[in-house]
């Protein structure tokens, strides 16, 4: 795991194979309720405890997109992207396992590719991203494409 001062890394720093890991964050009932209100997704699997008892999960689970939103926040908390991301340009994402109330999530990212794009003031970086729970189970994963600042820009 890489460590650095709490400032973002530039495209030149993001060499293939570099791994970044975030601190953890526990998912709360309030997170799910607030996300339902923000998104308008009040699906009963997320909002009705009695209904959720009868599902294969046995309890309410977080919205998949809430997990992705938390992953974005965890990436920011890592410090690696602080002030150096110009744009989040794309992603491919898989929802692999449920996220439950009380799960503590952390993000692990590995640089897959990085290339300079001087005309854009930086470069493109492809990250392989995993969201893990407290049992080290991968609950979500995929690739993120980011336009990052260059030191020379």
Question: Is 37 a domain residue?
Answer: yes
Q: Which contiguous run of DSSP H or E holds residue 99?
A: none
CATH number at residue 60: 3.10.129.10
What is the per-residue pLDDT across 63-72, written as a single tens digit (0 to 9) for each?
999 999 999 9
Question: Is 126 a domain residue?
Answer: yes
Return d(Cα 64, Cα 72) in angstroms, integer. Answer: 13
Residue span of the structural domain in which 122 resides: 11-149
Question: Is 56 a domain residue?
Answer: yes
Going by C-alpha positions, the residue among 145, 82, 78 that lies closest to residue 117 is 145
Going by C-alpha positions, the residue among 126, 23, 133 that lies closest to residue 67 is 133
What is the per-residue pLDDT across 20-48, written as a single tens digit (0 to 9) for each?
999 999 999 999 999 999 999 999 999 99
Question: Is 73 a domain residue?
Answer: yes
Structural domains of the chain, count: 1
Q: What is the pTM of this model?
A: 0.92
Query: HSE of 37 in the Cβ direction (CA atoms, 13 Å)?
Result: 6
Going by C-alpha positions, the residue among 1, 50, 49, 51 that lies closest to residue 22 is 1
Question: Is 3 a domain residue?
Answer: no
Q: What is the mean pLDDT of each run of 10 residues along the chain (153 residues)?
A: 68 96 98 98 98 98 98 95 95 98 98 95 97 98 97 81
């Amino acid at each position: 795991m890489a460590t650095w001062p709490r400032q973002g890394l530039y495209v030149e720093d993001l060499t293939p194979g570099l791994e970044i890991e975030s601190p953890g964050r526990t998912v709360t009932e309030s997170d799910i309720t607030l996300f339902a209100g923000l998104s308008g997704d009040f699906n009963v699997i997320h909002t009705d405890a009695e209904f959720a008892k009868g599902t294969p999960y046995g309890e309410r689970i977080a919205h998949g997109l809430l997990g992705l939103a938390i992953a974005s926040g965890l990436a920011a908390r890592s410090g690696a992207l602080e002030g150096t991301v110009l744009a989040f340009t794309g992603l491919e994402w898989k929802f692999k396992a449920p996220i439950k109330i009380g799960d503590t999530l952390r993000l692990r990212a590995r640089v897959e590719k990085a290339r300079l794009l001087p005309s854009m003031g930086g470069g493109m970086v492809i990250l392989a991203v995993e969201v893990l729970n407290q049992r080290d189970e991968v609950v979500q994963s995929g690739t993120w494409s980011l336009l990052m600042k260059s030191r020379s820009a």
